[in-house]
């Protein structure tokens, strides 16, 4: 972003901040990526200029109103920003995928072992509780608080190697049930635009969206073998669908209707656990067993210590070759997406930066937040990974230590303890 775009230098908390982002914008040819995504403008400020101003708002600690509307020294009017975000013809998904692919190439070239790479799938509430007229606003269930809120579910697919996390794709989901939607799709939207397609996607079930998201990620050249998921996505039918494209590692939910074939019988997870011989003492793996999904596909279930009520947690893997400890370690990388959601909401202003009612505007702004996080993730990697300094350092320094089995188990325990805090009013002493 050029210095003449924002003339009030008091907004800039770091004198080198704009220079850093300008370097990345030039390196990844962000202007070209915007153009390839149909984000073009025939008059006035260029899309790159508008994108740069909006991109930097989070780093100068201003929201859209403070940084653009009230700030007379910014060479952009309020309507320009809203028109830029609200356009239904702009393909923000293509832009997100293109920018990710260029950052991914830079980081993946440092890795010697592609088996350390995983896809991570999860969702998080996009809270708009104070809103009334936001397009497709709906009543959605927040798994962490066990309550319904007004807003959306942000279904996100990311990439991790245990050290860095990059957002690949997302969908802002309303509700598939009409009775849960406060507002419907605007009648003014052109049904030929990509904006209308995103709206149709918003009212689909998440299980119908996950497979296309994974296929898009694999089509742009991500070289992963596994996808890790939370227990909310562990239904056998979804696992069977995803495993056609990539191996699945997920936490299991002890749902009475989700059955697995073991010893010739259809059993739920807790019933399988009761039939197994467990390792005594403080074993890191309590038990593991091969079972079959309802479609006949063979999978491995691994039981580890955790969950104060049951005393165990179960992981499922469609890849039967890795040792049990390796599967637990790979699942531990799912924690990275929790950090991603927290960073986006608390520091990159995912929800609070702009109070926009148009669904296209929500998609455009969320895509910008993903771009911020991915560039920051690369920036951090460049400053902690000595392999960025060249072949000499690559030859003389050991590869960055990846997440250990103990650290993976620790992260799983942290998730379980956090769940106990939310679900039950227990003291810290009882939980410990």
**Residue 331: CB partners within 8 Å, gap ≥ 6?**
228, 249, 250, 251, 315, 408, 412
> 302 φ, ψ to 5°?
-120, 130
Distance CA 282, CA 406 (A): 13
Rounded to the nearest 10 degrees, what angle do helices 194-202 and 359-384 cross at? Answer: 90
H helix intervals, 152-259: 194-202, 206-219, 236-242
Angle, alpha carbons 89-91-93 (nearest 5°): 150
Cβ(138)–Cβ(185) below 8 Å: no
Distance CA 367, CA 93 (A): 7
What is the dihedral sign for C-alpha 110, 116, 121, 127?
negative
Distance CA 400, CA 224 (A): 19
Per-position b or e across 133-171, b if 16+ CB within 10 A of its CB: ebbbbbebeeeeeeeebbbbbbbbbbbbbbbbbbbbbbb
- Residue 142: per-residue pLDDT: 87
**Local confidence pLDDT in tens for the 432 residues of the chain:** 343 443 343 343 333 334 568 889 999 999 999 999 999 986 788 999 999 989 988 888 888 888 887 777 777 888 898 999 999 999 999 999 999 999 999 999 888 777 789 999 999 999 999 999 999 999 999 887 888 999 999 999 999 999 999 999 999 999 999 999 999 999 999 999 999 999 999 999 999 999 999 999 999 999 999 999 999 999 999 999 999 999 999 999 999 999 999 999 999 999 999 999 988 878 889 999 999 999 999 999 999 998 677 889 999 999 999 999 999 999 999 999 999 999 999 999 898 888 889 999 999 999 999 999 999 999 999 887 665 555 545 454 455 556 677 777 888 888 777 777 776 666 677 776
- Using only C-alpha atoms, the chain has a radius of gyration, in whole angstroms, of 23
Distance CA 2, CA 167 (A): 26
Cβ(284)–Cβ(325) below 8 Å: yes
- Residue 409: per-residue pLDDT: 80
- Residue 36: per-residue pLDDT: 96
Distance CA 34, CA 45 (A): 14
Collapsing DSSP to helix, strand or coil, 201 comes out as helix
Distance CA 163, CA 347 (A): 20
Q: What's 412-426 look like in SS3?
A: HHHHHHHHHHHHCCC
- Residue 41: per-residue pLDDT: 81
Distance CA 406, CA 150 (A): 38
H/E stretch holding 285: none
DSSP, res 114: G
Distance CA 162, CA 400 (A): 10
Distance CA 224, CA 352 (A): 34
All structural domains of the chain with their residue ranges: 3-228+336-396
Taking the CA atoms of residue 136, residue 141, residue 147 and residue 148 in that order, the dihedral angle to the nearest 10 degrees is: 20
Distance CA 121, CA 211 (A): 11
Collapsing DSSP to helix, strand or coil, 265 comes out as strand
Predicted confidence (pLDDT) per residue in 338-359, tens digit: 999 999 999 998 988 888 899 9
Distances (CA, A) of 96 to 84, 157, 212: 16, 12, 15
């Amino acid at each position: 972003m050029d210095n003449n775009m924002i003339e009030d230098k008091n907004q800039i908390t770091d004198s080198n901040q704009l220079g850093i982002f300008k370097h990345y914008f030039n390196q990844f040819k962000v202007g070209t990526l915007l153009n390839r995504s149909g984000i073009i403008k025939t008059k006035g400020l260029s899309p790159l200029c508008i994108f740069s101003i909006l991109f930097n708002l989070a780093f100068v600690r201003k929201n859209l109103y403070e940084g653009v509307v009230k700030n007379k020294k910014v060479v952009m009017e309020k309507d320009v920003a809203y028109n830029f975000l609200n356009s239904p013809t702009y393909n923000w998904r293509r832009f997100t995928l293109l920018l990710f692919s260029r950052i991914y190439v830079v980081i993946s070239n440092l890795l010697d072992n592609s088996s350390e790479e995983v896809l991570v799938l999860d969702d998080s509430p996009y809270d708009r509780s104070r809103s009334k007229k936001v397009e497709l606003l709906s009543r959605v269930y927040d798994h962490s608080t066990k309550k319904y809120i007004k807003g959306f579910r942000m279904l996100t697919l990311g990439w991790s190697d245990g050290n860095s996390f990059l957002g690949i794709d997302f969908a802002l989901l309303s509700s598939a049930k009409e009775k849960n939607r406060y507002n419907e799709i605007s009648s003014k939207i052109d049904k030929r635009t990509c904006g209308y397609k995103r709206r149709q996607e918003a009212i689909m079930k998440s299980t119908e969206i996950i497979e296309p998201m994974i296929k898009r990620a694999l089509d742009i050249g991500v070289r992963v073998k596994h996808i890790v998921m939370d227990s909310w996505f562990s239904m056998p039918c979804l696992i069977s669908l995803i495993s056609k494209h990539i191996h699945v590692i997920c936490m299991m939910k002890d749902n009475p209707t989700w059955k697995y074939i073991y010893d010739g019988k259809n059993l739920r997870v807790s019933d399988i656990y009761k039939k197994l011989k467990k390792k005594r003492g403080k074993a890191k793996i309590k038990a593991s067993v091969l079972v079959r999904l309802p479609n006949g596909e063979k999978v491995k279930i691994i039981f580890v210590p955790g969950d104060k009520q049951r005393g165990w947690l179960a992981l499922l893997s469609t890849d039967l070759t890795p040792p049990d400890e390796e599967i637990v370690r790979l699942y531990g990388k799912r924690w990275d997406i929790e950090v991603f959601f927290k960073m986006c909401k608390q520091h990159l202003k995912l929800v609070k930066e702009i109070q926009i009612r148009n669904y296209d505007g929500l998609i455009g702004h969320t895509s910008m937040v993903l771009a911020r996080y991915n560039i920051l993730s690369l920036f951090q990697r460049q400053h902690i990974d000595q392999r960025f300094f060249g072949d000499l350092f690559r030859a003389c320094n050991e590869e960055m230590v990846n997440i250990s089995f103990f650290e993976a188990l620790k992260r799983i325990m942290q998730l379980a303890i956090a769940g106990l805090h939310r679900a039950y009013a227990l003291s810290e002493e009882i939980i410990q």
